[in-house]
Structure 1
Amino acid sequence: MKRYIVNLLVTTLAVLFVVWVLDWVQIDPGQNKYIVGLKVAFVLSILNAFIRPLMLIFTLPVNILTLGLFTFVINAVVILFADSIVSGFHVAGFWAALFFSILLSLTTTFLESILGIEQ
């Protein structure tokens, strides 16, 4: 449980950083950005645990043909799904979701390496 909470907080920091970097992804000004960032991190953890594996299984032939590059598309779809679930969090479209997922992965990996968190 402790590991999940630490990963959730690291992902929250990464979400806030990527929202700050990308203009295509926004948190509503009237919302508390930390709470919305935490909600996004929580929803992404749930979607990555349950929905993403199903999508990977159903798209396995396409993923094999593209040598795994279709996984980026699945990640972008998961981000767009999180956008529709979390109020106050907005992604401009597919390409914004794709860049968001790539930067989120890189930022999370960087923060985990700095903090010494093992997966």
Structure 2
Amino acid sequence: MNFLLRIIINALAIWIAVWLLPGMTITGSEWLAGSLGETGSAVVAYLVIGLIFGLVNAVVRPIVAFVSIPITCLTLGLFGFVINAAMLLLTAWLSGFTPIVLQIDTFFWTALLAAIIVTVVSAVAETLLPDRAERQRD
């Protein structure tokens, strides 16, 4: 249940980043439009990208974050945004092997700004959700 919530939060954060940044697009959901409609195919597309981003954050990000501890300390944590941007670029690359593709134009502006947006939206969504102990009791 927690992983499903993370996928939904990731999809919401990526949707907001795509909505705000002209350099980010998601393509390939047209083949779903026949059976799900335009809105349904867009929701499925964002959920697929959210799933890929969640898997990248669960598998690759801890390794990269551990290796980059010295530079993260030197930059007082700001290097974390660079790591998040790299995870978004890795998600975009991995999505190229699926019918639904996340496209990011540039690393410096688009990916870094998207990383900031995704981080802020994820943090806000996490504060709005009940904490893990309350969810386990219910």
Shorter-chain TM-score: what band?
Answer: 0.7 to 0.9
Secondary structure class of the residue paired with 1:27: strand
Q: Is the 8 A contact 1:79 1:101 kept in 2?
A: yes
Q: RMSD across aligned C-alpha pairs, in angstroms?
A: 1.9
Q: How does 1:10-29 map to 2 (within 5 A)?
A: 10-28=9-27
- How much has 1:113 moved relative to structure 2? 3.5
Q: What TM-score, normalized by structure 1, do the two folds share?
A: 0.84
Q: Which runs of 5+ in 1 are unaligned?
A: none
Secondary structure class of the residue paired with 2:103: strand
Q: What TM-score, normalized by structure 2, do the two folds share?
A: 0.74
| Separation in structure 2 between the aligned mates of residue 62 and residue 113 of structure 1, nearest angstrom | 28
| Separation in structure 2 between the aligned mates of residue 30 and residue 41 of structure 1, nearest angstrom | 14
1:103 matched to 2:102? The reply is: no
| Separation in structure 1 between the aligned mates of residue 125 and residue 65 of structure 2, nearest angstrom | 26
Matched residue, 1:89: 102
* Equivalent residues, number: 117
Q: Which runs of 5+ in 2 are unaligned?
A: 31-40, 133-138
Q: Is the 8 A contact 1:76 1:97 kept in 2?
A: yes
Q: Out of 56, 73, 78, which is 1:69 matched to? A: 78
